[in-house]
Amino acid sequence: MSKFRKKPVVIEAAQWFKDGDHPAVLKADAPFGWCPTLEGGHIVTPGDWIITGVKGEHYPCKPDIFEATHEPAED
């Protein structure tokens, strides 16, 4: 099997904790939110990161995965 490295792409992301923290997260049963994605909706829990993809789509990412795969970028 071949190995690949992800291309470095600067993304926008915001951490979600409650309703109103990100416009892409819809209200759900507290303390959870709901994020529609290209693959279907996902439950969002407090502390999840909401990532804006390269095509403007949004999707949630758990904090430990986000920390392992992302680092701050310069403006």
For residue 61, the cross-strand partners are 49
What is the β-pairing status of strands 58-61 and 49-52?
Answer: antiparallel
Task: State how far the Cα of 20 lies from the Cα of 69, in Å rounded to an integer.
Answer: 26
Is 2 within a domain? Answer: no
pLDDT at 9: 87
Identify the residue with better confidence: 6 or 62: 62
Confidence of residue 7 (pLDDT cuts 50, 70, 90): confident
User: Is position 75 within any domain?
Assistant: no
**Mean pLDDT value across residues 2-9:** 87
* 25-58 tens-digit pLDDT: 999 998 999 999 999 999 999 999 999 998 999 9
pTM: 0.87
Beta bridge partners of 43: 34
Residue 30's domain spans which residues?
12-52
Residue at 28 is within a domain: yes
Q: Domain total for the chain?
A: 1
Percent composition of the chain: helix, strand, coil (DSSP 3-state, to 5): 10, 25, 65
